[in-house]
Amino acid sequence: MAKQLFLTLLLTTGLFTNSLAQILNFNKGVLQNDSLKWLGQVSVFFTYINQEVSVANMGYNIDVIHKLKKHSIMAISKLNFAASDKELLLSDGYTHIRGVFFRTSKISTEIFGQIQYNAIRGLNQRSLLGAGFRLRLYDKHRYGVLFGSAIMHEWENWSNEVQAVHNKLWKNSSYLAIFGDVNSHFHFNLISYYQARFDNFFQPRVSVEVNLNLNITTKLVFTSNFTMAYDRAPVININNSTYKFKNGIGYRF
């Protein structure tokens, strides 16, 4: 538990001492407004139920963008925790930091770093650093399509009751992002990642994330998020696929 608390603090510190595809929880028009130098969205939740059993559930999502004249610095941080009496039901989180250079060009360069953990699946810590390019495939009217590909170095520590594995690997990380404004109130984005070793390219980790955002006011937004991930060759003996669906209220600044 102490290690999980330390990682949680590290995730939070990593976000605020540093500031994808673009961070896609903002509508396209807002992202393209260069008069806005800082953009952010925060949602925090906490639930405690005391009946026959006690259940606690908490977490946060924080997205931040700082736009310079030609470049951008972006960060995403998420944390989820749930416990019932003395049983841990859910504990995972990550912070992802990305710099985009010449962000308005058709082809941009990117650097990024990430740290994460997932206690239930046995991922004690995963860290990565990478660099690559981003190609603007389509950017007209209210919609956009981005493709990016990068080389990254990944450090992972996995463990369960019967095994512990420590990996250091070079991988390709590619993504396709689609986002748009259906109207002035409803916005969507989808991003899919394909990450694989160069010597075993067809045993990837694949993830898909879909976000739907409905503006309640100029500051409050209702968010609906679906995430699905598939690991063709898990490091330890766990399920190949996972998925998560959640709704929430966010505050934009």
Q: Report d(CA 122, CA 114) in Å as an integer.
A: 18
Q: Give the CATH number of the domain where residue 94 resides.
A: 2.40.160.40
What count of residues does the chain have?
A: 253
Tokens coding 82: 């749930």
Split into its structural domains, the chain has a count of 1
Question: 87 lies in which domain range?
Answer: 2-252
Q: How confident is the model at residue 140 (pLDDT cuts 50, 70, 90)?
A: confident
With a cut of 60, say whether residue 5 has pLDDT above it. no
Q: Report d(CA 84, CA 62) in Å as an integer.
A: 25
Q: Report d(CA 73, CA 163) in Å as an integer.
A: 38
Residue entry with tokens 């206690």:
119
pLDDT tens-digit profile of 158-208?
Answer: 999 889 999 999 999 999 999 999 988 999 999 999 999 999 999 999 999
How far are the Cα atoms of 100, 153, 175, 233 from residue 168, in angstroms, in the given order?
25, 7, 22, 16
Q: What is the pLDDT of residue 238?
A: 92
147: phi then psi, degrees, rounded to nearest 5: -130, 135
